[in-house]
Amino acid sequence: MKLADLEIFVVGNRPPGWGGRYFIFAKLTTDNGIVGYGEVYAAAVGPAAMEAVIQDVFERHMLGENPENIEMMFRRAYSSGFTQRPDPTVIGAFSGLEMACWDILGKAHDRPAYALLGGVMNERIRSYTYLYPLPHHDMNAFWSSPEMAAESAAAAVAEGFTAVKFDPAGPYTLRGGHMPAMSDISKSVAFCKAIREAVGDKADLLFGTHGQFSTGGAIRLGQAIEPYSPLWFEEPVPPDNVGAMARVARSVRIPVATGERLTTKAEFAPVLREGAATILQPALGRSGGILETKKIAAMAEVYNAQVAPHLYAGPVEWAANVQLAANIPNLLMLETIQTGGSFHLDLIRHSLVWEEGFVLAPTAPGLGIEFDEALARANPYDGSGLHLEMQEEGSNYVDGNNFAGGSPPVEE
């Protein structure tokens, strides 16, 4: 069995757009006709450029290879161009192609991918979601309203969720770590207070930030929300500054989580070694794929750290996350777009099951999904924006900040 063909789908997300502007899916076909699907979560360049990278990685490192030889193909990609260091674009491309190989291997052996990784540890996988506006909410006002967030949290708990995530702490800016406005700290406290009062002890609070704070700013913010006992303080400083994140972790009585922007074990190892985080959030469409992320999880196990796979992408990455989550012993929980996401579920013909706060480990072969190629082709992405983008303007210390961190794509 050899890898023989690649097809790439760049799919525009439908409104309301939770999960980003577009998804990049890869379809691999073997010389004996087995098809596997993967998803690339790498968007530092536009989709057309990313398609070219995916094609190059496939043709240069994988075409004609047995899909079983994932370790060899990873080393080729990791070493390409005399690098042997993490490259989020190349490794992102490989990540999607790698999960397609696992889809093929599972189908070839008529077993779920997790069965080939050591079997099932978690048949029911705890799931969490971001808080999104309810149908009667004002979409623009929602992101700065503790009251609406609390109402959304109560609704999520009523559905079965035992953890909800929110990020009211101000803008993600390309200027680097900044000191939060006092109004952002006050708003963050108000969000935590309102949501905690709405859910009581029925759900964990997951406080999201995205690397936007200076070390001192992150500490001030973290200490302010400590009374509400969030389960985690996510990526409080820029992800490449492991030492600064470790200083935050030592100064705040909330577990620090990080990892959605990291790739390969080479970037996760210092996080564990320096005590920068006790919860890792790899995104499998960027972190190196299923096998590489299983190695990351194994490293975390040695450090008594847990894994919570990240998802702000499409349903094929979600499916890969589920396969890993079913297999590893140090799983904390799994990110889900609401209860699976309307368009997300349509793209995989509702082949993954969310039930009362948990994703059920699939028993179908490979990634356990049925990818709808016709629907993917019917929704091409024709915009010019990247999957997610940071704002150029810095924090507003006069009028406050109203940053829609989980907002839908901007109309182009």
**What DSSP assignment string belongs to 268-298?**
HHHHHHTT--SEE---TTTTT-HHHHHHHHH
For 367-399, how does the pLDDT look when each residue is reduced to its tens digit (9 = 90+)? 999 999 999 999 999 998 898 888 888 888 898
Over 50: is that where the pLDDT of 213 sits? yes
Nearest to 68 by CA among 35, 106, 40, 114: 106
Residue 321 CA: distances (Å) to CA of 38, 310, 334? 11, 8, 8
- Bridge partner list, 280: 258, 307
Predicted local confidence at residue 409, as pLDDT:
47
Q: What is the mean pLDDT of residues 210-218?
A: 96
| Confidence at 405, pLDDT banded by 50, 70, 90 | low
| Residue 172 pLDDT level (bands cut at 50, 70, 90) | confident
Residue (of 291, 277, 267) closest to 247 by Cα position: 277
In 253-372, which residue ranges form alpha helices assigned H by DSSP? Answer: 264-273, 290-302, 315-327, 342-347
User: CA 372 to CA 377: how far, in whole Å?
Assistant: 9
Of the candidates 173, 168, 211, the one whose C-alpha atom is nearest the C-alpha of residue 186 is: 168
pLDDT of residue 239 exceeding 80, the answer is: yes
Q: Name the nearest CA neighbour of 324 among 280, 372, 388.
A: 280
| Residue 365 pLDDT class (50, 70, 90 cuts) | very high
CA distance 223 to 189: 10
Q: Which residues pair with 256 in a beta bridge?
A: 233
Both structure tokens of 14 = 């439908």
Q: Which residue has the higher pLDDT, 33 or 398?
A: 33
Instruction: Give the model's confidence band at 40: pLDDT under 50 very low, under 70 low, under 90 confident, else very high.
Output: very high
**The residue type at 313:** A
Confidence category of residue 193, pLDDT binned at 50, 70, 90: very high
Q: Tokens 């577990």 map to which residue? A: 255
pLDDT average, residue stretch 142-167: 97
- Which tokens belong to 361? 């480990």
For the packed helices 264-273 and 290-302, what is the interaxial angle rounded to 10 degrees? Answer: 10
CA dist., res. 315 & res. 133, Å (int): 21
What does the alpha-carbon distance between residue 111 and residue 178 come to, in Å, rounded to a whole number? 48
Average pLDDT over residues 72-76: 98
Instruction: Confirm if 104 and 28 have CB atoms less than 8 A apart.
Output: yes
**Torsion of the alpha carbons at 390, 375, 350 and 121, rounded to the nearest 10:** -60
Indicate the pTM of the whole model: 0.96
pLDDT in tens, 86-136: 999 999 999 999 999 999 999 999 999 999 999 999 999 999 999 999 999
Which ranges constitute the DSSP H helices of 145-284?
146-159, 182-199, 215-225, 242-251, 264-273
Q: Which residues, at least 6 apart from 233, have a Cβ–Cβ distance to it below 8 Å? A: 207, 209, 218, 222, 225, 248, 252, 254, 255, 256, 257
- Stretch 48-72: mean pLDDT, rounded? 98
pLDDT of 412 > 70? The answer is no
- Calculate mean pLDDT across residues 258-268: 98
Give 318-340 pLDDT, tens digit per residue: 999 999 999 999 999 999 999 99
Which of 53, 60, 1 is closest to 26 using CA atoms? 53
Query: Which of the four pLDDT bands, split at 50, 70 and 90, describes residue 84?
Result: very high
What structural domains does the chain harbor?
116-367 (3.20.20.120)
Q: What's residue 197's pLDDT?
A: 98
- The encoded tokens of residue 203 equal 């759900």
The alpha carbon of residue 265 and the mean position of all alpha carbons in its chain are separated, in whole angstroms, by: 16
Tokens 């990634």 belong to residue: 367
